[in-house]
Amino acid sequence: MDNPVRAVIFRRMQKQSDIIIVGGGLNGPALALALAQTGFSVTVIDALSEKIRRNAAFDGRSYALALTSQRLLDGIGIWQDIAEHAEPMLEIKVTDGRAGEGPSPFFMHFDHAEIEEGPMGYMVEDRHLRRAFLDAMAATPDITHLSGKTVVAQSVGPASASVTLDSGKIITGSVLIGSDGRASGTAERAGIKRTGWGYGQTALVCAVAHEKPHHGIAHQFFMPPGPLAILPLTGNRCSIVWSETDAEAQRINALDDAGYLDVLRPRFGDFLGDISLAGKRFTYPLNLTIANRFVAPRLALIGDAAHGVHPIAGQGLNAGLRDVAALAETLTLAARRGEDIGSPLVLERYEQWRRFDTAMLAAATDAFNRLFSNDNALLRAGRDIGMGIVNAIPSLRRGFIREAAGLTGDVPRLMQGKAI
């Protein structure tokens, strides 16, 4: 006689896809599209509803996409939908100083004309990226998008991985991918510990409209409490990422819009004329958090689930997209060789590829933040002289430019503009 409990379990289980991705922000959909192109079936599970993801209201958030990230987005078919909303970053100017006193005479100036590949990157608003990813997933038959669903449990076996949703539905696949952020439930359920610390800083993020054109120039102004990034958007607008101590950021964010701008103006300066807010403003605490492993049995982590770094270099999303390109290439080549894509040997290739790069990025952003977010006179003198030296030596400048564009290291094929 059939076991009725077993019958219920089997009815609720569904071999949905080759790949299960938990997290529907930006990296998860990018990986789904990359893998679908090479023949995998993919299920993307997003705790947020599609209605929230599609919200057209501009909330001020934007991303600096390196040139190699743009190539990846072009390769997976969404760049054509966001190109008109992207602002090329043609120059980057980096300086040091204090609010209201102007910059130091020492600075670094990086110009895309010093490399042959084109702009160093592009600024794109969050809303345009999210809608492009949603539209592309909906148009791809091999992708199943489950929005507004939460994973409450997961398990792995010799030949499969499965997740249980809050509805009780069980989905199985060959590999489980955690793309669910710095507080990754996927990593936690797999027993993967994290290493990290807070910086005692909070980022204030907004967009501003200004009178004068920005000419595609990004500015990074280092001040004792933390850096201020002024990043060019389409039209006469810029994205602001502005770090302050936790207490000061809380005080500033509690001000009304007029008071907020009164605090921002001495830091921003008047080089672009008068400024006004062009969207909502919000804050997020800054910390470093690195997963001690990027893989576990039949599981891999990407993006902030693997490595959340300080935004001082604007490389958070770019590092996540590099994970996407590396993992898609690793799994695709393994499948073509007839290997089990969830085997430890395959997944460890991905970890070896990305572990060193992300460790170096974490160390660099941590050191930069500690070096520049203080008012020690000796350190100020040393870093100002260092910036002057870098700016005076063309080979060093070009090295920094290529690093910002994502052109250094072991670049995955999708980031070279090539198909896997």
In tens, the pLDDT along 325-354 reads 999 999 999 999 999 999 999 999 999 999
Of 35, 44, 24, nearest to 131 by C-alpha is 24
Q: Under DSSP, is residue 93 helix (H, G, I), strand (E, B) or coil?
A: strand
Other C-beta atoms closer than 10 Å to the C-beta of 88 total: 16
Q: What is the pLDDT of residue 59?
A: 57
Query: Is the model's pLDDT at 3 over the cut of 80?
Result: no
User: Are the C-beta atoms of residues 168 and 4 closer than 8 Å to each other?
Assistant: no
Tell which wins on pLDDT, 51 or 37. 37
User: Are the C-beta atoms of residues 90 and 216 closer than 8 Å to each other?
Assistant: yes
Averaged over 271-279, what is the pLDDT?
Answer: 94
User: Are the C-beta atoms of residues 130 and 26 closer than 8 Å to each other?
Assistant: yes
Averaged over 357-372, what is the pLDDT?
Answer: 81
Tell which wins on pLDDT, 86 or 373. 86
Query: Is the model's pLDDT at 8 over the cut of 70?
Result: no
Residues forming a β-bridge with 178: 22, 301
Q: Which domains does the chain have, with CATH numbers?
A: 4-196+286-416 (3.50.50.60)
Q: What is the pLDDT of residue 207?
A: 93
How many CA within 13 A on the CB side of residue 396?
10
Residues forming a β-bridge with 187: none
Query: Is the model's pLDDT at 222 over the cut of 70?
Result: yes
Model confidence, pTM: 0.90
Residues forming a β-bridge with 293: none
How many CA within 13 A on the CB side of residue 287?
13
Of 281, 124, 282, 274, nearest to 209 by C-alpha is 274
Give Cα separations from 66 to 321, 350, 408 (angstroms): 10, 21, 12
Q: Under DSSP, is residue 159 helix (H, G, I), strand (E, B) or coil?
A: coil
245 vs 396: CA distance, rounded Å: 32
For residue 338, give every residue at least 6 positions away whose Cβ sits within 8 Å of its Cβ, in sequence order, or none: none
Tell which wins on pLDDT, 353 or 103. 353
Query: Is the model's pLDDT at 368 over the cut of 90?
Result: no
Query: Is the model's pLDDT at 4 over the cut of 60?
Result: no
Q: What is the pLDDT of residue 11?
A: 36
Q: What is the pLDDT of residue 223?
A: 82
